[in-house]
Amino acid sequence: MSTFVYMTRCDGCGHCVDICPSDIMHIDKNIRRAKNIEPNFCWECYSCVKACPNHAIDVRGYADFAPMGHSVRVRREEEKGTISWKIKFRNGTEKDFVSPITTKPWGKFIPKLADGDKPNQGEINSQILYNEPHGLNTDKDLPTLDKNSFKKGVYY
């Protein structure tokens, strides 16, 4: 599939241009709306579809192998923390799915490490990473090996 943009719904806001990982959603200077400038570099990742506030972007299966008449629509709602999908087959069969996208308010539980506890003296020379070994939840030290357990040769 590749993305395309409905003329009457797009207001040229550029959210899709900003998010597209492949840099293929661009604003057309004449019509001042978004368009897919390079459909053969579209991964159908739906990043632009999800980002469009006007639901102006849709997808039509790749011309090489997808018969027409299908659709896969999505609505991603950050406030509700869900993503909803509607799949419509060429023969009219429909399927609906809803999944969570997060369990916490956006970004609130991600630490700002610059404000956190500084590493203890000497930890830079140890093998532990941030929040270790505590974050392994094992009540043990970080696992290690005796260097001598490495042997050259063919072992299965």
Partner 1 sequence: MPKNKTVFEDCDVLVVGGGMAGTGATFEARHWGRNLKIICVEKANIDRSGAVAQGLYAINCYMGMQWGENQPEDHVRYARNDLMGLVREDLGYDMARHVDSTVHMFDEWGLPMMKNKETGRYQREGKWQIMIHGESYKPIVAEAAKKSADKIYNRIMITHLLKDEENENRVAGAVGFNMRTGDYHVFKAKAVIIAAGGASHIFKPRAVGEGMGRTWYAPWSNGSAYALPIAAGAKMTQMENRIVLCRFKDGYGPVGAYFLHLKTYTQNANGENYEKKWYDATKKLVGEYIDHHPTPTCLRNHAFIQEVAAGGGPIHMVTKEAFQDPHLETVGWENFLGMTVGQAVVWASQNIDPKYTNPELTTSEPYVMGSHATCSGAWVSGPEDIAPDDYFWGYNRMMSVEGLFGAGDTVGGSAHKFSSGSFTEGRLAAKAAVKYIEDKKANNIKVSEKQYNDLKEVIYKPLENYTVGRNEITGGTVSPSYISPIQGLQRLQKIMDEYCGGITNNYMTNDNLLKKALELLDWLQEDLENVGAEDYHQLMRAWELKHRALTSQCVTEHTLFREETRWPGYYYRGDHMKLDDENWHCLTVSRRDPETGKFTMEKKPVYHIVDDKEKKKAS
- By annotation, the residues acting in catalysis are 43
CA–CA gap between residue 11 and residue 84 (Å, rounded): 24
User: Binder to partner 1 among 11, 18, 28, 77 (CB under 8 A)?
Assistant: 18
Position 70 contacts partner 1 (CB under 8 A): yes
CA–CA gap between residue 69 and residue 89 (Å, rounded): 7
Using alpha carbons only, give the angle 88, 92, 97 rounded to the nearest 5 degrees: 35
Binders of partner 1 among residues 113 to 132 (CB under 8 A) are: 113-114, 116, 118-119, 124-125, 127, 129-132
DSSP SS3 for 149: helix
User: Binder to partner 1 among 28, 32, 40, 54 (CB under 8 A)?
Assistant: 40
Residue type, 145: L
Instruction: Return left, alpha or beta for 123; rule: phi > 0 is left, psi -120 to 50 is alpha, else beta.
Output: alpha
Position 109 contacts partner 1 (CB under 8 A): yes
Residue type, 105: P
Per CB under 8 A, the segment of 4-12, 27-35, 45-53 that binds partner 1 is 45-53
User: Binder to partner 1 among 87, 120, 121, 122 (CB under 8 A)?
Assistant: 87
Name which of 8 and 114 has its Cβ closer to partner 1: 114
